[in-house]
Structure 1
Amino acid sequence: PSVDGSVTAVFAAGDEMAIGLIHALREAGRRVPEDISVVGFDGNPVFAYVSPPLTTVRQPFEAAAREGIRLLVHAIEKPDTDLPQASDPPVELVVRGSTAPPPSPRSRPLLRTT
């Protein structure tokens, strides 16, 4: 990865992507979270046990599934009516060891790959 010193954090689209990013950053000489913070998205509990433990946004999969089923049942039982407003279940930020305050500008190393 090519990340200059102005980047202090990366939000990955999934926990697995975040773990891959941490490995790539380490191979490039960057320290997580000292040089750059990494946050995943999913809330997979397995990633609490990696090094560093992954900060993630936990999605409430069960609540989202219940909401989808509610809308599906409504569509089946009342096909001639509009669907009710869907509710978005709240997500939760789970702070672990892959995030930290940004480093001071002088202490940020540049990442260069060839």
Structure 2
Amino acid sequence: MWHVAGPTGQPSARARERAWREALAAGDRTPPHLLRGDWSARSGYEQGRRLADMPGVTAVFAANDQMALGVLRALREAGRDVPGDVSLVGYDDIPEAESVWPPLTTVRQDFGEAGRRALELLVAQIEGRPRTGTLVALQPELVVRGSSGPPP
């Protein structure tokens, strides 16, 4: 599985790249060369054009949905079928993800809950209250839609 990663300096991009590497290692797979974008659909499109020219590409994980949409366009323009030839997965579950064709398989994060927890911590800190309990990371959820399927 190829990865269109986000910008090097972004913590979320580094975390997603690390998870991609760990998932491949868990499956005894060697990661292919990493491609990098800037979170935009344009950068996903540019990297997608490179991927479309590589005959062995059967799966792509984009670090966000905007880049995944760019990859999707590039693959389709090159005549590559998604998901028949190439499975594609994005990250963030933006509203457009379910409206494109095929609908984008993606990883959903609960941004509302993350914001609520961050605000609670900030208010507690401003009010001088000690932090109680354990800070628990939010678990992302895989939303399977039409852009992914079994390998060809």
Determine the structure 1 residue equivalent to 2:81: 31
CA apart distance, 1:83: 8.4
Determine the structure 2 residue equivalent to 1:88: 137
Deviation track 1:67-109 (CA, whole Å, cap 9, x = no partner) reads 1112111221227x57864321121111000001111xxxxxx
Higher helix share: 2
Q: Are residue 101 (structure 1) and residue 139 (structure 2) matched?
A: no
Q: Which 10-residue stretch deviates more, 15-24 or 4-13?
A: 4-13
Moved over 4 A (4+): 81-85
- Cα distance in 1 between the residues matched to 2:116 and 2:83: 36
Structure 1 vs Structure 2 CA RMSD: 2.0
- Cα distance in 1 between the residues matched to 2:66 and 2:123: 33
Name the aligned partner's letter for residue 92 of structure 2.
D
CA apart distance, 1:49: 1.9
Q: Are residue 72 (structure 1) and residue 122 (structure 2) matched?
A: yes
User: What secondary structure does 1:89 align onto?
Assistant: coil
- Cα distance in 2 between the residues matched to 1:84 and 1:72: 15
Structure label with greater radius of gyration: 1
User: What secondary structure does 1:100 align onto?
Assistant: coil
Aligned residue pairs total 102
Alignment of 1:35-54 (within 5 A): 35-54=85-104
Q: Are residue 58 (structure 1) and residue 108 (structure 2) matched?
A: yes
Give TM-score scaled by structure 2 length.
0.60
- Cα distance in 2 between the residues matched to 1:68 and 1:2: 39
- Cα distance in 1 between the residues matched to 2:112 and 2:100: 25
Query: For the Cα contact (< 8 Å) 1:11–1:39, is it kept in 2?
Result: yes
CA apart distance, 1:33: 0.5
Give TM-score scaled by structure 1 length.
0.78
Of 50, 56, 64, 1:2 maps to 50
Unaligned runs of 5+ in 1: 104-114
Query: For the Cα contact (< 8 Å) 1:71–1:86, is it kept in 2?
Result: no
